[in-house]
């Protein structure tokens, strides 16, 4: 089958749309993990973000307000996680799971009244003239705004972590919290900020799902994307730009399942839908098998409780 430019552009657009929520949630988790905090509540924060964005947008008609509220809601969830793990020294794995279970329940509860409510999708931010260029025009300049925002955030995070003093402190806190504490850096304060950033990004990723990707509210609509984002952070070996690459790879897998069926290959849709989950397992295995590489790249204090004995 011959693919024309239009089809190629459409595939690229679909790929970007599938990749963006993953990239957003994953970059938030990356920052959190770099500071030494493993937050398994991404899925829950995404769902709460998705439902708040939808509820606010459906009521006020203002998607930007919806996104802001989604980020705030994600941060509130993250604050709860931070209070338990950083304040009350609770186990991070258990608390993260609690955050996800709670988020699933809370979003279903809040979203009850919004099931089946339609919502107009966001307009794409076509950049005039440039988006009219064949192929590269629509691919690079015809996406919805959050696609660009997600790339900008990844660039900003990469710059912050590697080029600024704040990023250096954050990494130090994640590598050795006792040493960072001893030379006077606020371990807990740094981690709170990182966790809150993670919450905001997960909330925004959720907003993308319920406002752009499928403009409606469905219970559990994140369908494991929060967990895939967690796997992406490992896949990227905690490097922001590799994260973007990973997210687009997954975006590709997600839309491949749709297009294979479009090409007339007769595989049941349920089996095709397994692809992103199987791909997640595959990349985890491929990356993790090199234990040394994980050890060298993973923040050394990840998941560890910080309680200075003085």
Partner 1 sequence: MNGRSVGFLTLEPRAHASRHWVWGAPLLAVALTLVVGAILFAALGKDPIAALVGFFITPLTSAYGLAELGVKAAPLAMIAVGLAVGFRANVWNIGAEGQLTMGAIMAGGFVLSVNHLSGFWILPLAVVFGALGGALWAAIPAWLKTHFNANEILTSLMLTYVAQLLLNWLVHGPWRDPAGFNFPESEVFSPSATLPILWEGTRLHLGVAIAVIAVLAIWVLLSKSFLGFQIKVMGLAPRAGAYAGFSLRKVVLTVLPLSGALAGMAGFFEVAGPIGQLQPAISPGYGFTAIIVAFLGRLHPVGILFAACFMALTYLGGESVQMFMGLPLAVTGLFQGMILFFLLGADVLIRFRIRIGAPRPGKAA
Helix axes 145-163, 240-262, angle to 10 degrees: 150
Task: Quote the DSSP letter at residue 36.
Answer: T
Tell me how far, at minimum, the Cβ of 42 lies from partner 1, in Å. Answer: 11
Q: Among positive and negative, which fits the CA dihedral 255, 260, 263, 266? A: negative
Q: How many CA atoms lie within 13 A of 74 on its CB side?
A: 36
Contacts with partner 1 in 277-296 (CB under 8 A)? 277-278, 280-281, 284-285, 288-289, 291, 294
Binder of partner 1 out of 1, 2, 4, 88 (CB under 8 A)? 88
Shortest reach from residue 277's CB to partner 1, in Å:
4
Distance CA 49, CA 234 (A): 23
* Site residues (CB under 8 A) for partner 1, limited to 93-132: 93-95, 97-98, 101-106, 108-109, 112
CB of 130 to partner 1, least distance (A): 39
234 near partner 1, judged by CB under 8 A: yes
Q: Which stretch binds partner 1 (CB under 8 A): 3-11, 150-158, 240-248, 266-274?
A: 266-274
Compute the distance between CA of residue 2 and CA of residue 21 in angstroms, rounded to an integer.
30
CB 224 within 8 A of CB 55: no
Closest approach of partner 1 to the CB of residue 180, in Å: 16
- Taking the least distance from each CB to partner 1, the nearer of 84 and 146 is 84
User: How far, in Å, CA of 74 to CA of 202, rounded?
Assistant: 6
Measured from the CB atom, the residue of 164 and 288 that comes closer to partner 1 is: 288
Query: In this complex, which beta carbon is closest to partner 1, that of residue 77 or of residue 139?
Result: 77
Q: Please give the helix or strand (H or E) that residue 251 lies within, else none.
A: helix 240-262
Cβ-based burial of 150 (10 A; exposed 0-12, middle 13-18, buried ≥19): buried
Q: Give, as ranges, the residues between 13 and 42 that touch partner 1 (CB under 8 A).
A: 40
DSSP state of 129: T
Tell me which residues touch partner 1 (CB under 8 A). 40, 80, 83-84, 87-91, 93-95, 97-98, 101-106, 108-109, 112, 223-224, 227-228, 230-231, 234, 268, 270-271, 273-274, 277-278, 280-281, 284-285, 288-289, 291, 294, 307-310
């Amino acid at each position: 089958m011959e693919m024309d430019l239009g089809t190629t552009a459409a595939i690229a657009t679909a790929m970007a749309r599938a990749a963006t929520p993953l990239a957003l949630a994953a970059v938030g988790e990356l920052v959190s993990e770099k500071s030494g905090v493993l937050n398994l509540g991404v899925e829950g924060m995404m769902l709460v973000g998705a439902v708040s964005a939808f509820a606010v947008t459906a009521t006020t008609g203002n998607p930007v307000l919806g996104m802001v509220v989604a980020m705030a809601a994600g941060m509130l969830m993250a604050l709860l996680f931070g209070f338990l793990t950083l304040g009350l020294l609770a186990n991070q794995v258990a608390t993260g799971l609690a955050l996800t279970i709670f988020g699933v329940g809370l979003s279903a509860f809040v979203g009850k009244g919004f099931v089946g409510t339609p919502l107009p999708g966001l307009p794409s931010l076509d950049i005039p003239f440039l988006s009219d260029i064949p192929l590269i025009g629509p691919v690079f300049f015809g996406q919805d705004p959050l696609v660009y925002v997600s790339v900008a955030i990844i660039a900003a995070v990469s710059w912050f972590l590697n080029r600024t003093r704040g990023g250096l402190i954050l990494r130090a806190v994640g590598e050795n919290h006792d040493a960072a504490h001893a030379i006077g850096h606020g371990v807990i304060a740094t981690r709170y900020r990182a966790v809150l950033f993670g919450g905001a990004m997960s909330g925004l990723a959720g907003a993308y799902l319920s406002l752009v990707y499928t403009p409606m509210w469905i219970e559990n609509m994140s369908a494991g994307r929060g967990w895939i984002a967690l796997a992406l952070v490992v896949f990227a070996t905690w490097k922001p730009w590799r994260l973007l690459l990973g997210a687009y790879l997954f975006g590709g897998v997600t839309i491949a399942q749709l297009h294979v069926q479009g090409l007339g290959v007769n595989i049941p849709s349920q089996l095709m839908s397994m692809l992103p989950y199987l791909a997640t397992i595959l990349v985890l295995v491929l990356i993790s098998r090199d234990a040394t590489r994980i050890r060298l790249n993973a923040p050394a204090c990840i998941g560890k409780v910080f309680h200075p004995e003085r």
